[in-house]
Amino acid sequence: MNTMNLPKRSTDKPKNKSIWKDKGPCDNKLNQQFNPPTPNSVWASDFTYIKVNGSFHYLCVVIDLFSRKVIGWSVHNRHNVDLTKSTFKKAFFDRGEPEFVLFHSDQGSEYTGFKFRQIIEESHAVQSFSKKGYSYDNACCESFFRHMKRECLNRKVFHNQDELRLCCFEYINRYNSKRPHSSIGNYTPDEIEAFYLERQA
C-alpha cells in the first residue's frame, strides 16, 4: 500500500455512549429469514461510520431483503433518530407507501426511540430487532457495508460531506443496477425486481 501510495485503511471507531431507557419490547420477528417471497414485505436497516476530514459522518441504509436492493439512504454528521427517520421516509415514499412492512434493525436508540417508533406505527409497519450485540441477525446490512467499505470507502479520502454523498450515490447506484449478488442467483437487485414484475404481468 505504501509503494502504490494508497491511503491507509481506517480502523478508528467513534466513541459513543449508549443511552438505554425504557424502549418497549424489542422482539426479533425476522429470525434470520432473509429471503421473503415478495418485495416490500421485509426491509432491514443499519448505519455505519466514515471519516470525513478528521471527523465521523454516518451512512444509514434501508435494504429490501427480497432483492437486496438499497431502497433508501442518508448521510449525516450525527447518528440520531433524525438520520433513521429520514432514511425510512425516503424508502417508504419511493416504494409507494407499502403497508405492513416488517422493518428489521438493531436495538440502537436511533431505532427504538419514541419518534422513530411513531413513524413506524403511522406507516403500518411492524418492527423487528436483532438480539443485542448479535450482528448475524442483521447479516444483509452487515454484508452490504463490508462490501462497500472494501470496494469503495476504505480506498478514498473525503474532504467534505458532499464528496462522501457523491461517492455513496455512485456506489449504491452501481450496487443496485450492475453488481451481481451470489445470494440472489448472481443477478443484480434491479434484475430480480424486474423478473418479479414480469411474472406478475
Q: Which residues, listed in sequence order, are joined to residue 61 by a DSSP beta bridge?
A: 46, 73
Which pLDDT tens digit goes with each residue over 145-180? 999 999 999 989 999 999 999 999 999 999 999 999
pLDDT tens-digit profile of 89-142?
Answer: 999 999 999 999 999 999 999 999 999 999 999 999 999 999 998 989 999 999
pLDDT of residue 201: 83
Beta carbons within 8 Å of 115's beta carbon, 6+ residues apart: 81, 85
CA dihedral 135, 136, 140, 141 (to 10 degrees): 0
Q: What is the pLDDT of residue 166?
A: 97
Q: How far apart are CA 70 and CA 86, in angstroms?
A: 14
pLDDT on residue 28: 96
DSSP structure class, residue 38:
S
**pLDDT tens by residue, 8-44:** 544 455 554 443 344 567 899 999 999 999 999 999 9
Nearest CA among 89, 79, 75 for reference residue 13: 79
pTM of the model: 0.87
